[in-house]
Structure 1
């Protein structure tokens, strides 16, 4: 498991510690280019799963775009029935994706033992539809829905995982359709197999229909040893219902497995069917009659600053500090800015232009006092923001080439033990600002852990 001392530090008893934060444990699984390990957060003692991706392997196989997309998508989708990404870290050789640890295993393991009772299948299907509806509201299509990618937590609640084949709007062609043929054949919609372009959300709905059939039947609707024969059945939606399927379940599946995507049932229609609504209780995670915890609002994803802020807010809201604490600094921006080993900035582009950054293990108040002290040594006037006590402006007293130089310094919190300080030019000449940055560095050395682009001791 240990490939280089760049990635792991040996602790007492040969414990494997990464980034002085996570103790690595047993191997949970592995794929073509990544391994997933159980790990423990040394601060909170929380169990997590860490996906370790070897950059060299990914580049050789041309899968960097897939990894980039998977991280970007997981950053967007924050939902109770979706495996959550916690943070991304990187060295020169590896990417570490820290995720929620889901201890119940795959739904597939439960189904392979036999069909589920209808009420239990309904519970899982409701949670699946809730998660996929949320993904679609964020313009994300999963494209590889199957029981192997549906996990169960300790409460037997469903968690959608593996967004490696997911699609974002920028992958749409000029015809507004997706064209990449991907997914698992037995669960893939017929329009995907035809290679003529397809609507991602509608293709996901077909896969949900196959999953519902599998949950209730304990087997696939399209079963053929010969793949081409199976495709022929998929193209015709040719399958049979076992005798124990209820009439309502049959009607719903018949509306899900419709060959023409334009005639296929929509999610809003699914949530109004009698089978879906039967036995709806708060225990299903429902907060309204449909069982959904989030509004179905179409949210564009790229380009506009407001769109980027909307993406970030899902991650930040749950851990936003009170007014007396520094603002939360998005962990993904932090990694992309501070990691000298691997540039992740392309994964997390924002329209906001970042200034110069450094990390510190000191508290926010101590950092602010140090910044004020250094500013005064350079004869800069200091004023604090009326809305944020951890943001100050340092303004020079002399006129420069473009007026008085004005620099903003703001402290953000990444974790309880790590803060990020950002310098940005508010006014004045850029060259004078760059010189100011270089001049103040020595005076800050005792609180700085690492400057942007430099390796830290950790």
Structure 2
């Protein structure tokens, strides 16, 4: 049977992983006297991941290496801080990849993480076509257990997909890649978010079409897509047009193959509800009879009684007797500025927001503000708007994200030292009546 298999869309920072064994973690250079790098596990636009060995006890780990001189800018800095902060909150769960420590030199940043030698579930799906019911339920139970813990700790993942679900040496699932996660204080874990992010085929429709959304409900929608992929080997929504893709989600335009059983269809249908207020939550999912059925994968048990019946005991890190590193510092302060790791924080360079106002009206508004502030208004060859005043040059670009939704970016392309926060504030005040939501640096 010729089935369309899921393809990995591009995203801000993604590492293509390859399956590795537990050997070979230490034949290259030594990092800060603690770890010896081994073979390359994967690479992306902004980082490389290596198999490595801890020198004092021989433990095999994975190390993500980022070059501060060539790849780390303000956007990357935000993603790294968010990923580290999220992983610290979640380090005690058995189905979430562990971050051991963060180290830095003048030129490099190193994230030392738990090694998952089994590769990712996307690769397994590509090899097998689809999972059996027992295998699908085995992995799905562990994914839901991890998400329950995430949401209780005030973390919404926001980029769930098989590429981000790894497998350890014992065949246990490990959720990874928290670069797009949103963090809140635990008592505010249900706070509404505004940023459009994630991978289109797996993202909930309200992330694009609604002004505010609940992170945990968005994760639940992604779980529905993942379960569909597990059982069928293809995506429920798959279109090269961003607009048609999200219209299909609103209209629930997907079809089950004949072999998908009714109980599983019911779970998926309720998770893929385009209305987040009536969508099945992760907590409600755990009470459904289909989910409660024992889940095993071959001869391996996922120990559901331990994960759900007894709960998860958190273990505090013992920090006495060793020097504090960057990871320890982050653990002491929520939202701490890590500018020291990155050689100093640069001044604000851009302003982004979404709007439902017609693009022509947006352009008129921007040009009016520019003229009022003494800028010369010019049209660029690419169709954008240039605002010029002395040495300061601003570029305004507008992209259509979906039907009646545009993303507007205003960025400094020259004279940044002369364009300060006061001038950004003038822009924000002048534009506030057409803004649907600001694209904040903290990802909210």
Find the aligned partners of 1:170 and 1:278 in 2 and give their Cα distance: 33
Q: 1:14 to 1:285 in 2, by over 3 A?
A: closer
SS, match of residue 183 in structure 1 = coil
Q: 1:287 aligns to what SS in structure 2?
A: helix
CA distance in 1: counterparts of 2:156 and 2:74, whole angstroms: 23
* Residues in 1 aligned to 2:130 and 2:149: alpha-carbon distance in whole angstroms: 27
**1:194-213, aligned counterparts within 5 Å?**
194-213=209-228
Aligned mates of 1:214, 1:204 — CA distance in 2: 15
**What are the Cα deviations for residues 430-457 of structure 1, in whole angstroms up to 9, with x where unaligned?**
xxxxxxxxxxxxxxxxxxxxxxxxxxxx
Q: Out of 51, 61, 74, which is 1:48 matched to?
A: 61
Q: From the superposition, tell whether residues 329 and 192 of structure 1 become closer, same or farther in structure 2 (CA, over 3 Å).
A: farther
**Which residue of 2 is the match for residue 32 of structure 1?**
45
- Counterpart position of 2:83: 70
User: Cα 1:128–1:14, aligned 2, differ >3 Å: closer, same or farther?
Assistant: closer
What per-residue deviation string (whole Å, max 9, x for no partner) do you get for residues 69-125 of structure 1?
111111110211111011111111211110001001010011123011011100000
Give the unaligned 5+ runs of structure 2.
1-25, 336-444
Equivalent residue, structure 1, for 2:333: 349
Q: Partner of 2:87: helix, strand, or coil?
A: helix
Deviation at 1:315, TM superposition (A): 4.5
Any idea what the Cα deviations from partners look like across 1:123-157, whole Å, max 9, x if unmatched? 00000000011011100010000000001112221
Q: TM-score, normalised by structure 2?
A: 0.63
Between the aligned partners of 1:51 and 1:288, the Cα distance in structure 2 is 31
Deviates further, 218-227 or 159-168? 218-227
Contact in 2 for aligned 1:172/1:178 (Cα 8 Å): no
Counterpart Cα distance in 2 of 1:47 and 1:167 = 29
Show the 5 A alignment for 1:370-449.
Answer: none
1:288, distance to aligned residue in structure 2 (A)? 5.2
Q: Does 1:335 align with 2:325?
A: yes
Alpha carbons of structure 1 residues 140 and 151: separation in structure 2 relative to 1, 3 Å: same
State whether residues 154 and 186 of structure 2, in contact with CA within 8 Å, keep that contact through their aligned partners in structure 1. Answer: no
Tell me how many residue pairs correspond in the alignment: 304
Structure 2 residue matching 1:151: 3-state secondary structure: strand
- Larger CA Rg, structure 1 vs 2: 1
Q: 8 Å contact 2:228–2:236 — kept in the other structure? A: yes
C-alpha spacing 1:58/1:315, structure 2 compared with 1 (3 Å)? farther
Q: Which structure ranks higher in relative contact order (CA pairs < 8 Å, sequence separation ≥ 6)?
A: 2
Task: Name the counterpart of 2:432.
Answer: none
C-alpha distance in structure 1 between counterparts of 2:192 and 2:114, whole Å: 32
Alignment partner, residue 172 of structure 2: 157
Residue 56 of structure 1 aligns to a residue in which SS?
coil
- For the pair 1:261 / 2:276, whether they are aligned, the reply is yes
Equivalent-residue separation in structure 2 for 1:219 and 1:248 (angstroms): 19
RMSD: 2.8
3-state SS in 2 of match to 1:52: strand
